[in-house]
């Protein structure tokens, strides 16, 4: 099995305890990665990680502190991998539920990463099912008994769980600092740093009962102005066109 880290704020004790129960029940070893609280960083650290200018150009509204801290936590997970001897890493957020297919999926992905046969930098362990929607798929190939490796027609957002290789972590750390979008949105722009993102079907993880109680927007407004909503619509249309163009450029159907 690959090493597993789960991202968790010091203050989210109930989430941490729920994750510890999940791992005890599935018999896997794990490491808690202390999540970054944005307000604990120095001004220099914040300026290094987040660009307001990039945000104004690439996203429809400024990021709240929780979103910045979330992105920073994933950056730390990718650096954790590069500082280790491992070929890949399982990264989980602290509101997931381990499904019966989790161990099998991770073992199969670990084998590909170790053999050098992996044709991916990142594999998402859950897709759009959290929204009750099916993923649109371009290609499928067997991964292991009962599971498929899928190429998305459009990469779903969500960073609840994924496997990332050393090469993927290197690409992300090299090309995503500073950042201007939320991490789940940024990962959808795969062509910006040639990030090969696939998924598994059926999902290898689910969400637990804490999912609806996010701490990312705690105490911060989620309201979006009419101007921001219109800008979001324009950016979404531009994304769809660019995503299609880059797939066709690479010969994808």
Q: Which band of pLDDT confidence, cut at 50, 70 and 90, is reported for residue 158?
A: confident
- Supply the pLDDT for residue 221: 56
Residue closest to 235 by CA, chosen among 172, 183, 186, 176? 186
pLDDT at 28 > cutoff 90: no
Instruction: Identify whether 232 is part of a domain.
Output: no
* 64 within domain boundaries: yes
Average pLDDT over the chain reads: 91
- 244 belongs to a structural domain: no
CATH number for position 34: 3.90.550
Question: Is residue 218 pLDDT above 70, yes or no?
Answer: no
**pLDDT greater than 70 at residue 41:** yes
Report the pLDDT value the prediction gives residue 252, as an integer from 0 to 100: 67
What confidence category does residue 76 fall into, taking pLDDT thresholds of 50, 70 and 90? very high
The structure's pTM equals 0.91
Residue pair 135/128 in contact by the 8 Å Cβ criterion? yes
With cut-offs at 50, 70 and 90, classify the pLDDT of residue 251.
confident
Would residue 199 count as lying in a domain? yes
Q: Of all residues in the chain, what percent carry a pLDDT higher than 70?
A: 92
Helical H runs in the chain? 13-26, 43-49, 52-58, 65-82, 102-115, 166-175, 183-186, 226-249
**Using one digit for the tens of pLDDT, what is the confidence trace for 136-147?**
899 999 999 999
Report pLDDT for 52.
Answer: 97
**pLDDT at 249 (0 to 100):** 86
Q: Classify residue 237: in a domain, yes or no.
A: no
Residue 133: per-residue pLDDT: 73
Quick one: which H or E segment has residue 92? strand 88-93
Q: How many domains does the chain have?
A: 1
Give backbone dihedrals phi and psi of 138, rounded to 5 degrees, phi first: -90, -45
User: Does 9 score more than 60 pLDDT?
Assistant: yes
Determine, yes or no, domain membership for 243: no
* Residue 142 located in a structural domain: yes
Distance CA 178, CA 157 (A): 20
Domain assignment of residue 94, given as a range: 4-223
Residue 165 has pLDDT above 80, yes or no: yes
Residue 233, domain member (yes or no): no
The token duo for 194 is: 């040639």
In this structure, of 83-87, 127-131, 193-197, the range with the lowest mean pLDDT score is 127-131
The whole-number average pLDDT for the span 217-229 is 68
Structure tokens at 1: 């099995």
pLDDT at 79 over 90: yes
Q: Which of 35-49, 56-70, 224-238 has the lowest mean pLDDT?
A: 224-238
Q: Percentages helix, strand, coil for the chain, rounded to the nearest 5?
A: 45, 20, 40
Kindly report, residue by residue over 90-103, the tens digit of the pLDDT.
999 999 999 989 99
pLDDT at 131: 67
CA of 92: how far to CAs of 6, 70, 235, in Å? 5, 12, 28
Least confident of 8-12, 123-127, 222-226: 222-226
- What percentage of the chain has pLDDT greater than the value 90? 77
Please report, to the nearest 10 degrees, the dihedral formed by the alpha carbons of residues 83, 88, 92, 97 taken in order.
-150
């Amino acid at each position: 099995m690959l090493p597993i880290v789960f991202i968790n704020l010091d203050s989210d004790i109930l989430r941490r305890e729920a994750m510890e129960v999940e791992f005890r029940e599935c018999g896997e070893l794990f490491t808690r990665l202390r999540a970054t609280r944005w307000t604990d960083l120095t001004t220099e650290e914040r300026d290094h990680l987040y660009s307001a200018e990039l945000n104004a150009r690439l996203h429809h509204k400024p990021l709240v502190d929780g979103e910045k801290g979330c992105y920073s936590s994933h950056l730390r997970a990718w650096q954790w991998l590069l500082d280790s001897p491992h070929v890949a890493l399982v990264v989980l957020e602290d509101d997931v539920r381990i499904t019966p297919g989790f161990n099998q999926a991770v073992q199969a992905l670990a084998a590909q990463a170790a053999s050098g046969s992996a044709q991916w930098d990142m594999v998402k362990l859950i897709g759009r099912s959290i929204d009750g929607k099916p993923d649109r798929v371009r290609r499928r190939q067997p991964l292991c008994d009962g599971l498929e490796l899928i190429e998305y027609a459009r990469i779903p957002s969500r960073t609840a769980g994924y496997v990332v290789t050393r090469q993927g972590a290197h690409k992300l750390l090299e090309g995503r600092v500073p950042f201007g979008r939320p991490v789940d949105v940024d990962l959808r722009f795969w062509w910006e740093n040639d990030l090969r993102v696939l998924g598994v079907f059926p999902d290898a993880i689910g969400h637990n009962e804490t999912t609806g109680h996010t701490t990312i927007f705690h105490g911060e407004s989620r309201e979006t102005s009419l101007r921001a909503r219109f800008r979001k619509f324009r950016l979404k249309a531009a994304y769809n066109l660019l995503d299609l163009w880059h797939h066709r450029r690479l010969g994808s159907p």
